Amino acid sequence: MEQIIFYIFGAGAVLSALIMVTNKKPVSAAFSLIVTMFCLAGLYVLLDAHLIAALQIIVYAGAIMVLFLFVIMLLNVEEKEGRLRGKILLQLAGILIVGYIFIKIVRLIGNGDLPAKMEGAIQGFGTTKVVGLMLFTDFLFPFEIASILLLAAIVGAVILAKAKVD
Amino acid sequence: MLAELIETIAKIMFIFGVNMGFFTPILGWVERKQSAVMQDRVGANRADIFGFRVIGLLHILADAIKVLTKEDFVPAGANKFFHTLAPFISLTPALVTFAVIPFGGQYEIFGHKVNLVIADLDIGILFIFAFASLATYGTVLAGWSSNNNWSFLGGMRASAQMLSYEVAMGLSIIGVIMVYSSLKLTEIGAMQAEFFRWGIFLQPVGFILFLTCAIAENKRAPFDIPEAESEIVAGYFTEYSSMKFVMFWMGEFLEIVTISGIITTLFFGAWHIPFVSNEMLLSIFGFAGPDGANILTMLINIATFFVKIIFFIWLQMTIRWTLPRFRYDQIMKLGWKILLPLALINIFITGLVLLVK
C-alpha cells in the first residue's frame, strides 16, 4: 500500500516537474510546479515527516505559488520561446551539470551508501514536538541565521520597491 | 483490523453524508430564507408541489433539477482545462478538511475503542490550514481561465485577499495552541471538558481574530470583493453555469460548516456540554449497561457538537447579511495593519501569561 502511494506521488512529482520545465505557458508551468510541491508533500508524509509535509503545502504550494500566479497574471506574462535558444555554451553547461549530479546519484544508490531507514532512531521522529525541540536547541544558530537571511531579503525588497515608487 | 476499517468507513460516510446530504442543500435554503427574514421580504416561497410550499424548502429540489438540466458552457477563448479544473479545486479542500475535526470524544463500545475523528493526525490543525490554502487556486484559476475581465479582476482580488488573511488566520490560533500545548484537535477538544477551560475564556481575542480571518478566507460579505456583484458582475464565477457554478457554492457552504467546526473545537468546548461532564452522563445512563451508556453518551456528544455548529452557521449568516462590503483598500488595511499586529500581540501576551504561571 505504502509502495503504491509512493509510486503515485513519485511519478506525479516527476511528471509535473517535466511539464513545468517544458510548458511554454507561464500559468500552466506555475500550476505544474504547485502539483510538484503537493506530490513532494505526499512523499514527506510517507517518510513520517508530517510537519514538514504540512509546512511544504502551507508555505510553498499555498502561499509562495499564489504570489507567483498573482504576479504572472498581473503582469500578463506572454508565452516566450526559450531565451537560451542559440546559446550553445550555456546549454552545454546545463547538460554537463545535470548529468554530473545524475551520475553521482546513480552511483550513490548503486553503492548502497544510503543510510537504511532509521527505525526508531529518534523517538517520535517527524512530530511537531521533536522538530520544534531540535530547532530551538541543537539547530538554534542555523535557524536564527536563516531568519536573518529572510529578514534581509524582505528589507531589500522593500527598499527596491520604494526606490521605484518615490 | 477489520473493525477499524469498518469504523473509519462509517465515520467517513457519516461526515460526508451530514455535510453533502444535509448542510449543503439546507444552507442554500437558509441563505435565502434568513436574508429574506432579515430584510423583511417574503422570499424563497415560489416552488410548490400541489400547492404545498413547506416554507420554501422545496426550492432545494427545484434548484437540483435546474442545476442538473442547465447547459454547461465554456466561454470562447477560455482555457478549457483550467476552467473545468477550478471548481473541483474549490470543492475538494472544503470536503477534505473535516477529516481532522473531532465530532465526539473517545468511547469504549463492545470492547472496541471508538475515536470520533476520521484522521487523528499529529499535525491536526495544520492539515486544515494546508488544504485551506490550496482552495485559493480554485478561485484564482477560475478568474483567470474564464477569459473575462470581470472574472479576472475577481480572481486577482481573491488571490491578494486570501493570501493576506491566511497569515493573520495562522497567527490567530497560535495562542490556542500555546494554551493547550497541542496541535491535535482531539486533545484540544478533550482538554475543554471544564466549562471555564473553554478556548473562548482563555483566548477571547484569538476567537474574534480567527472568526474575522475565516470569514475573509471564505470570501463572504463583508469580505466578498472577489465576487462583488454590484461592481464586477459575479467576480470569479461570472462565466460558470450549471453544475460547475454550484460546486463553487457547495465549497463555500462546506467551508462555513468547517469554520463552525473549527471554532467549536478550538473555542467552544468541542463536544462538551457546559457543567455536564461525560462521567455524569455515563452514570445517568447507567441503566443501559456499560455499552449502552457509552453509546448514549456518544450520541449526546455528537448532537451537542452539531448544535454548536448550527449556532455558528447562524452567526456567520447573520454577519453576512448585516454588514456592508468593505472596499479593497479597507480589507488590506484591516488584514495587515490591524489583525496581524493584534494576532502578534495576542501571542506575546499569551506567552507572558504562560511564562509567569
A53 pLDDT exceeds 80?
yes
Q: Which of B82, B123, B134 is nearest residue A62 as measured by Cβ atoms? A: B134
pLDDT score at B345: 92
Q: Which residues of B touch A49 (CB under 8 A)?
A: none
Q: How many CB pairs under 8 A join A and B?
A: 75
A70 with B123: Cβ contact below 8 A = no
Q: Which residues of B touch A51 (CB under 8 A)?
A: 122-123, 126
Spell out the residues 6+ positions from residue B205 whose beta carbon is closer than 8 angstroms to its own.
Answer: B175, B342, B346
- The residue among A86 and B352 whose pLDDT is bigger is B352
Rounded to an integer, the average pLDDT of B123-135 is: 85
Question: For a pLDDT cut of 90, what percent of chain B falls above it?
Answer: 2
A31 with B134: Cβ contact below 8 A = no
- DSSP letter at B109 equals E
In this prediction the ipTM stands at: 0.77
Report d(CA B34, CA B38) in Å as an integer.
Answer: 6
* CA dihedral (B58, B60, B64, B67) positive or negative: positive
For residue B316 the three cell numbers come to 456567520
Tell me the per-residue pLDDT of B14-63, one tens digit each, with 9 for 90 and over: 888 888 888 888 888 888 888 888 888 887 777 777 777 777 778 888 88
Tell me the per-residue pLDDT of B336-350, one tens digit each, with 9 for 90 and over: 888 899 999 999 998
Q: Which residues pair with B49 in a beta bridge?
A: B52
If pLDDT is split at 50, 70 and 90, which confidence band does A148 have? very high
Contact predicate B181/B252, CB 8 Å: no
Nearest by Cα to B149 from B245, B38, B33, B233: B233
**Mean pLDDT of the residues in chain A:** 81
Where does chain A have alpha helices with state H?
A: 2-22, 26-46, 50-55, 65-75, 88-111, 128-136, 140-165
For residue A57 the three cell numbers come to 503545502
Chain B residue closest to A130 (CA)? B122
Out of A48-62, A69-83, B263-277, pick the least confident. Answer: A69-83
pLDDT score at B80: 81
pLDDT score at A118: 54
Q: Name the percent of chain B in helix, strand, coil, to the closest 5.
A: 70, 5, 25
B29-47 burial, b if ≥16 CB within 10 A, otherwise e?
bbbbbbebeeeeeebbbeb
Residues of chain B numbered 220-259 and touching chain A (CB < 8 Å):
none
Q: Which residues of A touch B142 (CB under 8 A)?
A: none
Q: Tell me if the bond preceding B274 is cis, omega within 30° of 0.
A: no
Tell me the per-residue pLDDT of B132-149, one tens digit each, with 9 for 90 and over: 888 888 888 888 888 888
pLDDT score at A117: 56
B181 pLDDT exceeds 60?
yes
pLDDT score at A123: 63
Is the minimum CB–CB distance between B134 and chain A shorter than 8 Å?
yes
Nearest by Cα to B236 from B245, B227, B228, B246: B227
Q: Which residues of B touch A47 (CB under 8 A)?
A: none
B159 with A50: Cβ contact below 8 A = no
A149 pLDDT exceeds 90?
yes
Cβ neighbours, 10 Å, residue B18:
17
A119 pLDDT exceeds 60?
no
pLDDT score at A145: 92
Spell out the residues 6+ positions from residue B94 whose beta carbon is closer than 8 angstroms to its own.
Answer: B135, B250, B251, B252, B254, B255, B258
- Residue B232, helix vs strand vs coil: coil
The DSSP string of B167-194 is HHHHHHTHHHHHHHT---HHHHHHTT-S
B123 with A50: Cβ contact below 8 A = yes
If pLDDT is split at 50, 70 and 90, which confidence band does A152 have? very high
Tell me the per-residue pLDDT of A1-33, one tens digit each, with 9 for 90 and over: 778 888 888 898 889 988 888 877 788 888 888
B222 pLDDT exceeds 80?
yes
Tell me the per-residue pLDDT of B257-271, one tens digit each, with 9 for 90 and over: 988 989 988 888 888
Task: Tell me the Ramachandran region of residue B187: left when phi exceeds 0, alpha when psi lies from -120 to 50, beta otherwise.
Answer: alpha
If pLDDT is split at 50, 70 and 90, which confidence band does A83 have? low
pLDDT score at A151: 93
Record the pTM. 0.83
Report d(CA B235, CA B250) in Å as an integer.
Answer: 17
A100 pLDDT exceeds 90?
yes
If pLDDT is split at 50, 70 and 90, which confidence band does B74 have? confident
Spell out the residues 6+ positions from residue B335 whose beta carbon is closer than 8 angstroms to its own.
Answer: B161, B164, B165, B167, B168, B213, B216
For residue B1 the three cell numbers come to 483490523
**Mean pLDDT of the residues in chain B:** 84
B74-88 burial, b if ≥16 CB within 10 A, otherwise e?
bbeebbeebbebbbe
If pLDDT is split at 50, 70 and 90, which confidence band does A165 have? low
Spell out the residues 6+ positions from residue B266 whose beta carbon is closer than 8 angstroms to its own.
Answer: B125, B173, B176, B185, B188, B199, B207, B210
